[in-house]
Amino acid sequence: MQHHWQKIGGIACAVMLSTLSSCTWVEVDEHGINVQALARGEPPPDRCQSKGQVEVSVLHEISFYERDDEKISKELLTLARNEAGLMGANVIQAQQAPKEGRQRFDAYHCP
């Protein structure tokens, strides 16, 4: 009987991990919907006004499970767009690649 419950527990754990790996935990809100992202290193358009910096973070691992880098990057970008929109910015640009679930962006308001 003990072996049967261990097998069920293992299956439940596998299902939970596959579900977590496909989750997107962050969605664009009304503040971030009109915020565009520039590629790193690309100069911001002329006449853009700096609105400051945005630093965002998400979980990069859950217990012993490390989350997918692409999903983490998308979530960080979405969070940065939402935060920049609150600051009155409409353009963001990453300062560096994500590291351990964190990333910093420059925020601009461009005409």
pTM, 2 dp? 0.74
- For 22, 30, 75, 100, the CA distances from 18, given in Å and listed in that order, are 7, 30, 18, 21
Model confidence at 18, in pLDDT bands (50, 70, 90)? very low
Question: Which pLDDT score is estimated for 45?
Answer: 82
Question: Which pLDDT score is estimated for 8?
Answer: 45
Percent of all residues in the chain with a pLDDT value above 70, rounded to a whole number = 76
Number of H helices, E strands in the chain: 2, 6
Domain of residue 84: give its range: 2-109
* Total of domains in the chain: 1
Of 44 and 64, the one with more pLDDT: 44
Residue-wise pLDDT tens digits, 48-61: 999 999 999 998 77
CATH code, 67: 3.30.110
Largest CA distance in the chain: 71
Specify the DSSP class assigned to residue 28.
Answer: -
* Average pLDDT value for residue range 36-65: 88
